[in-house]
Structures are given as C-alpha cells and as structure tokens.
Amino acid sequence: MVNILILAAGTRNKIVQYFKRTFDGIGKVVATDASKLGPAIYDADKFYIVPPITANGYIDVILDICRREQINGVLSLIDPELSLLAKNEQRFRELGVTVIGSSYELCERSLDKMQMYHWLKEHGYNCARSWKEREEFFAAVDSGEITYPVFVKPYRGSASISISKAHDKETVDLLYDHSEDLMIQEFLRGQEIGVDVYIDLISGEIVSIFTKKKILMRAGETDKAVSFKDPELFAMIEKFVKEAGFRGQIDIDIFEIDGQYYISEVNPRFGGGYPHAFESGCDHMKLVLENLKGNANARNIGAYDEGVYMMKYNEIKIIRENA
C-alpha cells in the first residue's frame, strides 16, 4: 500500500481526482481542509477537518493523521503551508513519510517575492524590476528607469491577493500609507506562460516539463490556455530549476517579451492550472507514486501534445448534512 495525504485541498477537486485515479488499487488518497465546505475533500477516499495552519499544535494533528492512515507521502496545495512542511520534514521522515516539496529555504524564497527577485537578478535571469522602498522607486521613475503603470503587492503573498495596479505616484502613496509589507513591481507587457515541472525526489533530476500560453486569467489563476513547446524555453527552465535546487512539483509563471523569457513567480506546489498538463499527457501523480515506491523516474521532457486548449468552467459539489 502507498497512501498519500493532500493538505488544504480546498477547491482543487481535479488534483484529488487525478491522485485517486493514479493510486487506485495501490493505496488511498486522504485529504484535509479547515472547512467541511472544502469540496475537494469529498473526492478523496477519506478526509479530515483540521485546524487552521496557524493554530497551535497544527503540525501535531497532521502527524497524527499520518500515523493513523499509514501515510507515505504528504503535500500541500497552498503556499503558506509549504514552509511549515519543509520545516518539519525530519518529524515526517521519522514516521516514514516523504514531504513532497522543496527545502524550507526555497519555500521561503518563493513566498517572499523580493527574495526571489534578488536571487534572479544575482543569477542573471530576466525578471520584473522590483522595489521595496517607495522612495527608491520614485527615484527610478524620476531618472526614467521605470514608467507607470506598476503593480503594488504584498511581498509575501499568493493567489494574486491584494495586488493593485498603480498609474501614478498618488496611488502608490495611498497604498503604502494604508498597508504594510508592500513592494512595487514592473508591469510586464508580453505573453504570459505557465509551466508545470516535476523534479524527481530520488534522483534530483528534472523529469517532466509542461508549458502553456495563457489566454485569459481569472482571480489570479489561468482560465484559458493552450499548450505549446519551445526547446529554448525548456533549456532555460532546466537551468533555473537545477540552479535553484527545487524538488517535487513546482509551478512557474513566465513572460515572453520580444523573444526573451522573464521569470515572474515560482510556486513549489501543484498550481491551479495543472489539470491542463495532466490532460495533455503529463501525469505527475504517477511520478509522485513511483518516488513513494522508491523508484526514480526517467527523464521525459516535453512529452505532451501541443495545441491542447484548456477552458475552465464552474462546477458544483452537493453533499447532504446527514449523509
């Protein structure tokens, strides 16, 4: 038996369904959420309602579930929990549980957009110019280094929460005067690209890359997209991922501007648009399963169909109170 625990399942029903399909007859899929109204938990073989990740003793609750359900691998679908899992990796390992994710340092760097910006600049990657201090940004505007509009956002955050587009100094000042921990980021004009990568937990090698051109965004996630391939992009992704040292599943946002690729953000988890990769031929659940069995996966870069369109639409989950 190989059992997996999916934390903070929320509305990621497809992710749970894909794991169930892959683990069928081999093991069970257990899911958690802080609310019984998280629809994805009802697609799992078994689910638990757990406290918020900020609650005292939260990680002990998760470890207890791992013991009870004989879990072999655990992952989370939300950014703030990734660092928590990585920080407690040794405690999971003592129970024979593999944390499917990257190191604590990488999870923190990915969550902190200023940290990631500085790392990208130091390692020679194209990226959106960013400022934490507004005075430095205003000086850059005055010198002609940057022009409006720009994005103002929390430098630690996810899911495009609290992002504002500023067209002038007054708006930047207003936002900074009413919020803390903000940063200013260059507005990139170009083709937005979504990337799903799996880095083998055993070999450390990149074994799968999927890329899509985003056509429409909604609430910070890809709403419509089409798959494509570019060897030059694959090479850049491989270089970046190896240099950074990520492990397991990661999601990367990239812009293509005048033939140059710019790295925007990295999420060391399954992204909201991952179903596009799965349906195009990139079954990363199978790669996770093989790793949990103790097997390294073979390299299979770009093994998917081009010209596959993804179009999200709303679905509902119905449960009965006394069922």
Would you state the structure tokens that stand for residue 180, as one six-digit string? 């803390």
Return the pLDDT at 221: 76
Output the pLDDT for position 174. Answer: 95
37 three-class SS: coil
Give the pLDDT score at 180: 87
Q: Which residue intervals of the chain are DSSP H helices?
A: 13-23, 58-69, 79-87, 89-94, 104-111, 113-122, 134-142, 169-178, 231-244, 274-280, 284-292
The single-letter code of the amino acid at 245 is G
pLDDT of residue 321: 83
Phi, psi of 302 (to 5 degrees): 70, 25
**What integer is the mean pLDDT of 244-266?**
97
Q: Which whole number is the average pLDDT over 143-152?
A: 95
pLDDT tier, 217 (very low <50, low <70, confident <90, very high otherwise): confident
Q: What does the pLDDT read at residue 323?
A: 58
CA separation for the pair 85, 97 (Å, rounded): 11
- The fold of 4-99 is Rossmann fold (3.40.50)
% of the chain surpassing 70 pLDDT: 98
* Amino acid type, 315: E
Residue 159 reports pLDDT greater than 70:
no
Q: Residue 161 pLDDT more than 70?
A: no
pTM above threshold 0.75:
yes
CA atoms within 13 A on the CB side of 93: 6
- For the chain, the domains span 4-99, 129-186, 190-311
Which pLDDT belongs to residue 218? 78
Q: What is the pLDDT of residue 156?
A: 86
Task: Report the pLDDT value the prediction gives residue 117, as an integer from 0 to 100.
Answer: 97
| Percentage above 90 pLDDT, the chain | 91
| Rounded average pLDDT over 53-78 | 97
Q: Span 173-197, mean pLDDT?
A: 95
Are residues 2 and 289 in contact, defined by beta-carbon separation less than 8 angstroms? yes
Q: What confidence tier does 51 reach under pLDDT thresholds 50, 70, 90?
A: very high
What does CATH list as the number for 129-186? 3.30.1490.20
| CB-CB neighbours of 218 under 10 Å | 11
User: If we measure between CA atoms, which residue out of 197, 185, 282 comes closest to residue 236?
Assistant: 197
Q: How many CB atoms lie within 10 A of CB 220?
A: 11
CB 196 within 8 A of CB 271: yes
pLDDT digits (tens, 9 = 90+) for 90-133: 999 999 999 999 999 999 999 999 999 999 999 999 999 999 99
Using the 8-state DSSP alphabet, how is residue 262 labeled?
E
How far apart are alpha carbons 83 and 20 in whole angstroms?
Answer: 25
**pLDDT of res. 198:** 98
Q: How confident is the model at residue 136 (pLDDT cuts 50, 70, 90)?
A: very high
Helix (H, G, I), strand (E, B) or coil at 221: strand
Superfamily holding 190-311: ATP-grasp fold, B domain (3.30.470.20)
DSSP one-letter string for 48-72: EE---TTSTTHHHHHHHHHHHHT-S
Question: Cα separations (Å) of 59 from 117, 215, 247?
Answer: 30, 39, 21
**Whole-Å CA distances, 243 to 34, 50, 63, 74, 122:** 35, 36, 32, 25, 12
